[in-house]
Structure 1
Amino acid sequence: MRKRAKLAVLFFAVAAVAASSHALAAERIPIRVNGSMIASGVSPYISKGTTLVPLSVIAELKGVRIVSWDHPNKTVTLALNKQQVKLKVGEAFATGESQTYPLPAAAALRHNRVMVPLRSVAELSGAAVTWDSARKTVSVDSPAETSHPTAARRQTAEIIIDGSHYTIPVVSEELKRYSFAASTSKGIVWSPAPERSEFRDPTVYYPDEPYTFYLSDPKIHSLNIHQSRKLFALPAAEDGKYTILDGIYGVGDYVIYHTYVIGKGMAQAFESQAWAMKVTEPQSRKKIETFHSAGGYFHSFGIVQQDGLYVSLSQIPGNPDGSYNYEALVYKTTTDQTVRLQNFTRTTKGLQFKFDGKNYTVPLTQV
């Protein structure tokens, strides 16, 4: 009680700054910390698919302490177990002692309370966060007290990268095929499949939260968020449309990743995309192309590691005689150059073409 009283005094002293009304959702969201329901003076809310909670909720976790509040700069300093992290109102990142952590939404002030993205900040402390969409309840469990049923049934997906075995934590067996990882010159880039609520259609994957990309030391074969750097998150679901990760591929210090967008109740994706991102500059991610790989459309791709190339071939139906048209593309990571090939040949060994004065035959994999 004394701890909560101190927190109340601290945050009632914060000057009110109105948050943008269009970013706030009015629904009330119950919060359960280490099995106990938490009452807060200001209700948690959802902004752009991200749950924000009063900082006092995070302070209930084991190993978390509010160090100070810098009122002129609207900055709070937290002790999260063994590190200190600063969050500034209006900024979508947290600053640690040696690195910066991107956040899916900026910290905000609401009714004189500091509101922070629940999952991102809680996971920095090592806590596990789960979301029950049916009951719209969030559960947060400290590392030493992960008694929530979801935490108990967590499994791992095994992925072989360059002959080495790695594991990714997943919530259930069915989500293993939605988790991905790839080796880059900067480390292992990976993304675990977000949880899916039980009441949803079991034949289609509608994640409760956006996919998040992490960077890990390649020496750590049991990949986990507590020993990884968060890079960024895919867009949250909007208007019943979900962005699903469909593969990650390392190319030097870049990753190429595929996504597709699907609507709830739809049998096929609206569209698929190929993206490129420099691992050290997550904000640099760029859409390479948009394509279709369903409904009679086919799409294949290949990678040339030594030259930093991503190559794709789209097979497009629609000719009166039932034949296909073909479109080929090359993206070069080192120059950020995208070229539509005018001359190429499809062979049993792959796609043959000439690029930058060099002849290539690139084996292709169908998406």
Structure 2
Amino acid sequence: MTAETITAATSTPATTPPTTTAATAAVSPGLIDDPAAHRVLTGDRPTGPLHLGHYFGTLRNRVRLQDQGVELFVVVADYQVITDRDLADRLAEHTENLVLDYLAAGLDPERATIFAHSAVPALNQLLLPFLSLVSVAELSRNPTVKDEIAHSRQSAVSGLMFTYPVHQAADILFCKADLVPVGQDQLPHLEVARTVARRFNERYPHADGGAVFPHPQALLSDAPMLLGTDGGKMSKSRGNAIPLGATEDETARIIRGARTDADRRIGYDPVGRPEVAGLVLLAALCQDRAPEAVAEEIGDRGAAALKRTVTESVNEHLRPMRARRADLAADRGHLRQVLRDGAERANAVADATLTEVREVMGAI
């Protein structure tokens, strides 16, 4: 889950390579025959503004799932901000702006439960029994944890960072989500959630032998990864992203500074010319066209024409969303009410799950 996105029945250990362990399903209109029978958990850390990478990678799919009739839980993972940071800087502001981007992109708080970690105590209390089900060795071998520790802003690894996948398991299992949209790099985290669910069900079954938790499946989006203006993965922490809330002039300035190459002929070659291909892909996504067709249209007019095309395409595509965003931003009280309403619904679900957990554990 990530704003880094946080966002399958096997008995394989959590440390087995994700490509062989995680049961997955593609996000597509034909995937779900009975949408209302499924529950999705997804979310982001409120560490800064969402950008085009988030939008094309996750936000659009969340709206599609919502519109298909899937029950959607979206967590603003405010507690997880401090996994790799000493301070939760401007947390309230970032949280409200995250909700603002959600609503502007099309999430409907009447159909999606949008809530913050810190507002749902029972969710976080599940972390304690879940930690007893995963070994230190398993956590230390988790490749995603290793990578996050390597890129951490902290001088030492905190206990929260180390147990981050188990906290994500609590996010997923508190509402008994059976579908979790993730990228390939998040599959090891989902495998931890699946391992926790399996081990809990084996150790603490209902009296009739029934399971408490489902084994969540990974929803792997077919959305391509967008490169940032420096040719690397688009990320707000790297300063190479185009925020959804940027103005048209700000968008033009960011794109003008994007890295390209000396070849005047514009083509779509993600391997040989990744910077140019990233810009072509961005324009193509905004125009809903094939990137090869966009590149052919620009032809030999060079990088300046490419950047103009990208700027016009992005601004045209985001214009309705930015208009909605401006209207919503005028009423910050509404954003806070969305979080309060979402927390009320999430607390009811989390309290029921925790009660069930305590009953099967004999902890009443």
Q: Which has the larger radius of gyration?
A: 1
Q: What is the TM-score of this pair, normalised by structure 2?
A: 0.21
Higher RCO by CA contacts (8 Å cutoff, separation 6 or greater): 2
Bigger helix fraction? 2
Q: What is the TM-score of this pair, normalised by structure 1?
A: 0.21
Bigger strand fraction? 1
